[in-house]
Structure 1
Amino acid sequence: MKTDRQLKQEVEEELDYDPAVNAADIGVEVKERVVTLLGHPSSYAEKIAAEKAAQRVAGVKAVVVEMVVRLPSGDQRTDEDTASAVRAMLRWTVGLSEEAVKVQVEKGWVTLSGEVASPHLSHLATRTVSHMRGVTGVSNLISVAGGKAAQDIAEKIERALQRHAEREAKHIRIDVRDGTVTLKGKVGSYAERSAARGAAWSAPGVHAVIDDLDIG
């Protein structure tokens, strides 16, 4: 098992390796394999990239994000300008529309609400907005329309897990209730945990995913 010192070094190397991250913006602390990221990334997109970089390092049990976005002066926008830009981006994104997704902006933090046809579109809206200039954070309150039988959802997730990672699928229990999926069990790494969450979110009819997985 890697020591906390080894994990700290590897996380710092991964941050430095990632072209979407300026490693000088990010501080790293590790205690009992839990990584804490600190500092002031220059965009929300960089903040997300730093979090994902830390999650990719084998042996990391969890990632705590204590970073606060500090926009360069050239990227600062009024909330009105940011809201207008977000609406325009949604209008130009296939599958999304201003009518389906409502936008609220406060101090650069964008809150998305409304209703879309699938979890994929909900994630697409968040991903699109997350890479825009002037955005300091994104809250996704978008609901997913429609509903499917719990058994049907669980079977689709199980098949997806078997296609992506058969070994992990054997150790994951799936519970579905009213469109909310709860994942339980043990996986070998943060990457496997992320893959399981992705498989759950991709299933039609899923409105929310609760991740109770442990990393062994």
Structure 2
Amino acid sequence: MKTDLQLKHDVEAELEWEPAVTASNIGVEVKDGVVTLAGHLASLREKIAAEQAAQRVGGVRALVVELDVRLPGDDMRTDEDIAHIARSVLNWTAGLSEDAVQVQVEHGHVVLKGAVDSAWQSQAAARAVAQLRGVAGVVNHIEVRHAVAPDKISKDILEAMRRHADREARHIQVTVNEGTVRLSGKVHSFAERAVARGAAWAAPGVRAVVDDLSVE
């Protein structure tokens, strides 16, 4: 088991390794396996990359993100410009029908609304907008309208988990209530946790995922 000092070193090294992140702008603190990232970053894309980098490190029990996005002057855009670009990007995103998602922008923060047939479409829309220059934050309020029986959702998720990581699937419980999936149990790393969440989001009929998994 890693000490907090070893874990701090590994997280800092992973941030240095991640090309989308300026590691010198991020402070890392670790206590009892809980990692806290703090600092000011130049884009939402960099913030997401930093979170993902920390989660890749083995031994991270939980992640606290205290990263602020402060856009440089060259990246500042009007809300009207962001809304126009976001609308165009969503229209060009594969898997999304035209006008399925509505865009609202205030002070660089984008709110996505609308209805799609599956959760992965909702996630694809949020990822596409998060990559845009000038976007300081994304709130995803897109609804999933396709209804699937709870037992089928649970079965599909567990089968997907077994394809990806059979050992972890045995220790994960999946419950479904009105399209909301709750994952509980234990996994050995954030990477395994990400596999479980990915499998849950990809299942047809999933509207939301509640992650109650603990990392040993």
Query: Considering the TM-score relative to the shorter chain, is it more than 0.5?
Result: yes
| Structure-1 residue corresponding to 2:121 | 121
Match runs of 1:186-201 below 5 Å: 186-201=186-201
Query: What residue is the counterpart of 1:209 in the other structure?
Result: 209
**Contact 2:104–2:111, Cα closer than 8 Å, also in 1:** yes
- Residue in structure 2 matched with residue 184 of structure 1 by the alignment: 184
Amino acid at match of 1:61: R
The DSSP-based 3-state class of the residue aligned with 1:58 is coil
Identical pairs, percent: 59
The one-letter amino acid paired with 1:33 is G
Corresponding residue for residue 29 of structure 1: 29
- Listed as ranges, the matches of 1:60-209 within 5 Å are 60-97=60-97, 99-209=99-209
The alignment's TM-score, normalised by the length of structure 2, stands at: 0.98
Partner of residue 48, structure 1 = 48
Cα distance in 2, alignment partners of residues 116 and 108 from structure 1: 24
The CA RMSD over aligned residues, in Å, is 0.9
Task: Return the alpha-carbon distance in structure 2 between the equivalents of residues 79 and 24 of structure 1.
Answer: 30
TM, length-normalised to structure 1? 0.98
Tell me the CA shift for residue 25 of structure 1. 1.6
Q: Secondary structure at the match of 2:157?
A: helix
Give SS of 2:69's match.
Answer: coil
Deviates more, 1:45-54 or 1:90-99: 90-99
The one-letter amino acid of 1:184's match is: S
CA-CA distance at 1:20 after TM superposition: 0.7
Residues 42-89 of structure 1: per-residue CA shift (max 9 Å, x gap)? 100000000000000000011111000011110001111111110111
Q: Which amino acid aligns with 1:174?
A: V
Partners of 2:206 and 2:97 lie apart in 1 by 21
> Secondary structure of 2:84's match?
helix
> 1:27 Cα deviation (Å)?
1.1
Q: Which amino acid aligns with 2:159?
A: R
Cα distance in 2 between the residues matched to 1:97 and 1:149: 24
Tell me which amino acid in the other structure corresponds to 1:215: V
- Counting matched residue pairs gives 216
Q: Tell me, yes or no, if the aligned pair for 1:87 and 1:98 is still in contact at 8 Å.
A: no
Indicate the SS of the match to 1:11. helix
